Amino acid sequence: MNMAKRFEDKVVVVTGGSEGIGLATAKLFAAEGARVYVSGRRADKLEQAVREIGNGAVGVPGDAAKLDDLDRLYARVQADHGRLDVLFANAGTASTEAKPLGMIGEEDFDGLFNLNVRGLLFSVQKALPLMSQGGAIVLNGSVAGVKGFPGQSLYNASKAAVRSFARSWTADLKERGIRVNVVAPGGTETRLMRDYLEARPGMEDVLKQVVPLGRLGEPDEIGRAVLFLASAESSYIAGVELFVDGGSVAV
C-alpha cells in the first residue's frame, strides 16, 4: 500500500474543520490525495483553513447543529461528486466554566447537547445517502466519555453518547460495510483546551502529571489516528474507541 496516497480521489468531509483537530486532520487527508470538504461556523476562519489545507479543498460555511446547514454541505458534495467515502464528524464544543450538579442551567444543556450529540447524529444520518459501500465514519469522542471530570458532567455525558452511537451504528450499517469508529483524544493543544487551562492556573501541570507521556497531545497526532481508522489499514476494525491520550486512560 502506498502510505502517502491512501485517500487518492476519495471524497472526505470534516465537520468543524476550520481549526484544531479538524483542521489538522483535513490537512492530512488532503496531503494523501483526498478531495476534502470542511465546514465551520465562521466564514473568515473557514476561508483561512481552506487556504491552509490546499489541494483543492472546499469550505462550506455552516453550523453542524443546524440541519439546513448540514443539508447545504451535503448538497455541495452531491453536486460535485455524487458520493462520500469518509466522514469525520468532528464538530463539537466544551465549556471552560465548571458547572457541577446543582448549577446546570437549561442553556448549558442545550448548548452542549445540540452540537455534541444532536449535531453529530444528524451529521452522520444526513451523510448516509451519499456514503459509498464500504465507506468509513469516524466520530470525535474524548477521554471524558469514560471519566468523571468534576464540573463537566454535561460534556462527559455528551462524549459518552458519541461512544454509544458508534456501537449502535456499527450494527445498523453492517449490511453496507460502513465502519463506524471513535477517536477519543486526551488533552490536546487546541484553542478550546488552551482556554480551559488558562481559566484554571496550575491545571496544565496537574494534567501532565496524570498523562504517562507527560505532555499534551498535538492535533496532528489525533489526525493520524483518524486517518488510520478511515483507511483500509483498519479494514477489520469497527465499533471501537481508540484513545489517543498519552496513556492517561489505560495506565
Q: What is the dihedral of CA 112, 115, 117, 120, to 10 degrees?
A: -160
Tell me which long-range contacts 78-82 makes (C-beta under 8 A, separation of at least 24).
Answer: 78/130, 80/35, 81/11, 81/35, 82/130
> Which pLDDT does position 24 carry in this prediction?
98
pLDDT above 70 covers a percentage of the chain that reads 99
The cell numbers describing 212, all together, are 504517562
* Angle between helix 203-210 and 191-198 (nearest 10): 120
**DSSP 3-state of 216:** coil
The cell numbers describing 6, all together, are 491512501
> Which pLDDT does position 133 carry in this prediction?
97
Across the range 59-79, mean pLDDT stands at: 98
pTM of the model: 0.96
Whole-number average pLDDT of the chain: 96
Residue 215 CB partners (closer than 8 Å, separation 6+): 208, 246
Catalytic residue among 37, 74, 155, 196: 155
Across the range 18-24, mean pLDDT stands at: 98
**DSSP 3-state of 117:** helix
Quick check: 77 and 126 in contact, CB under 8 A? no
- According to DSSP, the residues that pair with 13 across neighbouring strands are 37, 87
Across the range 43-60, mean pLDDT stands at: 97
- Per DSSP, helices labelled H in 81-143 are 106-113, 120-125
Q: 192 versus 126: which is more confidently predicted?
A: 126
Residue for grid cell 447524529: 121
> Which pLDDT does position 96 carry in this prediction?
79
Exposure letters 95-117 (e unless 16+ CB within 10 A, then b): beeebeeeeeeeebeeebbbbbb
* pLDDT exceeds 90 at position 250: yes
Please name which of 144, 251, 155, 153 lies closest in space to residue 188, comparing C-alpha atoms. Answer: 144
Active-site annotation holds for 37: no
> Which pLDDT does position 204 carry in this prediction?
93
The cell numbers describing 157, all together, are 455525558
Confidence of residue 1 (pLDDT cuts 50, 70, 90): very low
> Which pLDDT does position 4 carry in this prediction?
77
Confidence of residue 3 (pLDDT cuts 50, 70, 90): low
Confidence of residue 185 (pLDDT cuts 50, 70, 90): very high
Instruction: Identify the structural domains of the chain with CATH numbers, from first to last.
Output: 3-186+219-244 (3.40.50.720)
**Could you report the per-residue pLDDT of 212-237, keeping only the tens digit for each?**
999 999 999 999 999 999 999 999 99
Quick check: 150 and 101 in contact, CB under 8 A? no
**Could you report the per-residue pLDDT of 72-130, keeping only the tens digit for each?**
999 999 999 999 999 999 999 998 788 999 999 999 999 999 999 999 999 999 999 99
The cell numbers describing 176, all together, are 453496507
**Could you report the per-residue pLDDT of 158-174, keeping only the tens digit for each?**
999 999 999 999 999 99
**DSSP 3-state of 9:** coil
* pLDDT exceeds 60 at position 2: no
Amino acid of residue 114: N
